[in-house]
C-alpha cells in the first residue's frame, strides 16, 4: 500500500500478476489513480508530491517508448541483414572451413590466415576417408591472408580423382614456436537459410554463418 493512502469503502486495488517483479507504465498509472481516489478529502495530496509523481510517470513512459523503438530498430536491421544475405547466392566466398572442391585440370587454391609471421608452413591434404594423400611444405610467410596452389596430385605425383578433399595447415615461427592458422573454404553459395533470426550460407555443402564470411567475389 502506498504511504498516505487511506482506503475507503468501495475502493478496489488490482494486485499485480504473480511473479511480476517490475511495474510498467500502466501499473504506475493505476496506482496513481487509486491514490487519488483513496486520498482524504480533508487532507488532499500535496501539489508538489503530485507533480513529482506525474514527472515519474512521464519518465517511465518515455523509457518504455524508447525500449519499444529500439526493438523495432533491431527487427528492421535483422530484416535488412537477412535480405542482404540473399544476394550471396551464386557468389564465390571464403569462410572458415577446410573443404577443397577439386576439378581435374584446375589447380585448387588453398586459402588460410596466419596469426603471426611464420618461418615454415606445412599443408596436409586428405581424401574423403581421412587418408593423408599429400603434404605441401612452404617457406616463410607474413601474417594475414595467404594461399597455396595444389595441382591435384598425391605425394607420388599421380593425379587424384575429382571431388572433395580437406586440408590442414600448421605453421611455426623462426624459433620453432607454433603459429595459429585458420583454414578457409572457398566455394559457391548455393543456398541461404534463416534460423532463430540468423542467416546461414551453404558453401560446398557446409552450413556457414553469414557473419563469418570474410570474402565475396563474383
Q: What is the pLDDT of residues 178-201, one digit of tens each?
A: 999 999 988 888 888 888 778 898
Among candidates 128, 116, 90, which has minimal Cα distance to 177? 116
* Cα(117)–Cα(68) distance, integer angstroms: 48
Q: What is the pLDDT of residue 37?
A: 66
HSE, side-chain direction, 13 A CA sphere, residue 170: 7
Q: What is the pLDDT of residue 218?
A: 72
Angle at 148 between CA 146 and CA 151, to 5 degrees: 165
Long-range contact list for 18-25, CB < 8 A, 24+ apart? 24/60, 24/64, 25/57, 25/60, 25/61, 25/64
Q: What is the pLDDT of residue 216?
A: 86
Task: Look up the CATH number of domain 90-217.
Answer: 2.60.40.4070
Q: What is the pLDDT of residue 193?
A: 87
Stretches in the chain below the pLDDT threshold 50: 1-13, 76
CA distances from 112 to 161, 162, 169, 185 (A): 23, 22, 8, 8
DSSP 210: G
Contact 80, 181 (CB under 8 A): no
CA 67 from chain centre, in angstroms, equals 21
Q: What is the pLDDT of residue 63?
A: 74
* Cα(156)–Cα(53) distance, integer angstroms: 85
Mapped onto helix, strand or coil, the DSSP state of residue 15 is coil
CA distances from 188 to 136, 175, 213 (A): 25, 39, 12
Q: Who's near 61: CB < 8 A, 6+ residues apart? A: 25
Q: What is the pLDDT of residue 62?
A: 73
Q: What is the pLDDT of residue 104?
A: 87
Q: What is the pLDDT of residue 170?
A: 97
Q: What is the pLDDT of residue 49?
A: 64
Amino acid at each position: 500500500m502506498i504511504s498516505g493512502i487511506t482506503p475507503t469503502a468501495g475502493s478496489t486495488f488490482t494486485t499485480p500478476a504473480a511473479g511480476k517483479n517490475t511495474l510498467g507504465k500502466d501499473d504506475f498509472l493505476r496506482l496513481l489513480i487509486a491514490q487519488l481516489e483513496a486520498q482524504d478529502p480533508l487532507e488532499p495530496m500535496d501539489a508538489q508530491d503530485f507533480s513529482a509523481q506525474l514527472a515519474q510517470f512521464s519518465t517511465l513512459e518515455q523509457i518504455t517508448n524508447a525500449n519499444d523503438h529500439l526493438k523495432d530498430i533491431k527487427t528492421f536491421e535483422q530484416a535488412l541483414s537477412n535480405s542482404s544475405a540473399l544476394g550471396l547466392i551464386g557468389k564465390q566466398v571464403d569462410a572458415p572451413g577446410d573443404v577443397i572442391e577439386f576439378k581435374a585440370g584446375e589447380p585448387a587454391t588453398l586459402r588460410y590466415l596466419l596469426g603471426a609471421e611464420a618461418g615454415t608452413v606445412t599443408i596436409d591434404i586428405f581424401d574423403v576417408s581421412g587418408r593423408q594423400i599429400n603434404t605441401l611444405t612452404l617457406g616463410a610467410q607474413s601474417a594475414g591472408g595467404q594461399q597455396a596452389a595444389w595441382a591435384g596430385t598425391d605425394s607420388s605425383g599421380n593425379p587424384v580423382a575429382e571431388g572433395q578433399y580437406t586440408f590442414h595447415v600448421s605453421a611455426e615461427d623462426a624459433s620453432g614456436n607454433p603459429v595459429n592458422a585458420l583454414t578457409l573454404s572457398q566455394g559457391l553459395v548455393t543456398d541461404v537459410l534463416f534460423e532463430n533470426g540468423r542467416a546461414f550460407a551453404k558453401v560446398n555443402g557446409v552450413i556457414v554463418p553469414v557473419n563469418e564470411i570474410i570474402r565475396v567475389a563474383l
